[in-house]
């Protein structure tokens, strides 16, 4: 199984605008999955959350995660990634969520920002990549 995203599927993480369904693991061992915005830095899938949220707590405590990324134009073409959160940082968290707002909403600034939240960046290194379609 490839450990990187094959060239033929890179459009799903570079040019196409689609969500990643990010699965993390709760303290109980149960999985948990929600759609998230993401960017790709050439190596990592990069997601953004806020300090203290469920996903933040899960990814810090249990860095093994999984993602499912569908082609918005063809639901039978997708990427399935199992990976590891290898970096968690608040550095650049605000700029990153603004860049995601630009990608997904066409807005220069993230419009749902709460004044008290601390935005956090998580870099996910793919370890197993499966493609379909």
| List of residues contacting its own copies (CB under 8 A) | 19, 21-26, 28-35, 62, 64-68, 70, 75, 78, 80, 82
Say if residues 67 and 20 touch (Cβ distance below 8 Å).
yes
Q: In angstroms, give the least distance from the CB of 71 to its own copies.
A: 10
State the Cα–Cα distance between residues 119 and 40, nearest whole angstrom.
18
User: CA 114, 58, 5: angle at the middle one, nearest 5?
Assistant: 95
Nearer to its own copies, 33 or 118 (CB): 33
Nearer to its own copies, 71 or 94 (CB): 71
Q: In angstroms, give the least distance from the CB of 91 to its own copies.
A: 27
State the Cα–Cα distance between residues 48 and 100, nearest whole angstrom.
9
């Amino acid at each position: 199984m490839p450990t990187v995203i094959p060239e033929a599927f890179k459009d799903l993480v570079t040019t196409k605008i689609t969500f990643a369904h990010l699965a993390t693991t709760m303290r109980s061992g149960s999985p948990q999955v929600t759609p998230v915005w993401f960017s790709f830095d050439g190596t990592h899938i990069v997601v953004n959350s806020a300090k203290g949220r469920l996903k933040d707590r899960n990814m810090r405590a249990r860095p093994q995660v999984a993602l499912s990324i569908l082609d918005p134009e063809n639901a039978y073409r997708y990427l399935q990634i199992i990976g590891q959160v290898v970096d968690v940082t608040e550095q650049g968290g605000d700029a990153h969520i603004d860049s995601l707002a630009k990608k997904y909403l066409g807005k220069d600034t993230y419009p749902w920002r709460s004044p008290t939240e601390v935005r956090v960046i998580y870099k996910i290194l793919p370890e197993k990549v499966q493609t379909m379609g």
